[in-house]
Amino acid sequence: KQEVTQIPAALSVPEGENLVLNCSFTDSAIYNLQWFRQDPGKGLTSLLLIQSSQREQTSGRLNASLDKSSGRSTLYIAASQPGDSATYLCAALRSLADSGGSNYKLTFGKGTLLTVNP
Amino acid sequence: SQTIHQWPATLVQPVGSPLSLECTVEGTSNPNLYWYRQAAGRGLQLLFYSVGIGQISSEVPQNLSASRPQDRQFILSSKKLLLSDSGFYLCAWKTGRNTEAFFGQGTRLTVV
């Protein structure tokens, strides 16, 4: 059974600081890993998708890395801004057992609540 | 472009009442569809998934059911709500293994 853990559970930083969010997963047989952002009371917004064959993906100030063999991913946020304040979730994708490989399940961590102070 | 709609945004229902939450996807065909629940202090839990019309699989036994009457419509239902059904319900879709999953804006359900 896949378990995904995110550390820290909460993080508060001053504006402009670079920061790293951590995600670990127990089953390395994943297809990919996706990072999401969730604002209070809202749905999830996809940030980055990193395939199991990739080492990293970048989008603007965000950079996600993946080390599949060690079961770890990190999300690096450069020059943080107050607008980055949100909960960040990582999710690992693998096949659903009874789907014959035709369907997939995202297993989520509980998230890191990020607060960027102006 | 692809979009996903969920409604209602919030819902307060008494214990024992029925439930129907709807999710529709636009701009894509034959998506894989998912219902997740997010309870306070817990991660997202997969409830149901569907690979096609009329094809529903459940991840966990529960008081809820799902249906997919059309390719891009996914419905979450209950005949009699329990207090433990309260939570934030999210619909999601994917078109393939190597593509992103996209989520709706969610429905906040409070059972009183």
Q: Which residue has the tokens 């009874």?
A: A98
- Is the pLDDT at B87 greater than 80? The verdict is yes
CB-closest option in A46, A99, A111 to B101: A46
For residue B110, the cross-strand partners are B12
| Whole-number Å distance between alpha carbons of A4 and A59 | 23
| A96 contacts chain B (CB < 8 A) | yes
Chain centre to alpha carbon of residue B56 = 12
pLDDT of residue A21: 97
pLDDT of residue A98: 60
- Is the pLDDT at B90 greater than 90? The verdict is yes
**Tokens, residue B8:** 């209602």
Cis peptide upstream of residue B61 (ω within 30 degrees of 0):
no
CB-closest option in B6, B41, B101 to A106: B101
pLDDT of residue A12: 97
Q: Do A31 and B32 touch (CB under 8 A)?
A: no
Contact predicate A76/A63, CB 8 Å: yes
pLDDT of residue B43: 84
Question: For residue A110, what is the nearest residue in chain B, using CA coordinates?
Answer: B43
Give tens-digit pLDDT for B16-75: 999 999 999 998 888 999 999 998 777 899 999 999 999 998 887 778 999 999 999 999
Chains A, B: CB contacts under 8 A, how many? Answer: 63
pLDDT of residue A22: 97
Per CB-CB distance under 8 Å, the chain A contacts of B106 are 41-43
Q: Do B32 and A103 touch (CB under 8 A)?
A: yes
> CA angle at residue A79 from A8 to A86, to 5 degrees?
45
Where does chain A show beta strands of DSSP type E?
Answer: 4-7, 10-14, 19-25, 32-38, 44-51, 56-59, 62-67, 72-77, 86-95, 104-108, 112-117
Contact predicate A61/A79, CB 8 Å: yes
Question: For residue B99, what is the nearest residue in chain A, using CA coordinates?
Answer: A49
Output B109 or B30, whichever has higher pLDDT: B109
User: What SS3 state is found at A4?
Assistant: strand
pLDDT of residue A95: 83
pLDDT tens series, chain A, 118 aa: 889 999 999 999 999 999 999 999 999 889 999 999 999 999 999 999 999 999 999 999 999 999 999 999 999 999 999 999 999 999 999 887 665 666 788 999 999 999 999 9
**Contact residues, chain B to chain A, C-beta under 8 Å:** 6, 32, 34, 41-44, 46, 49, 51, 57, 59, 90, 92, 94, 97-106, 108
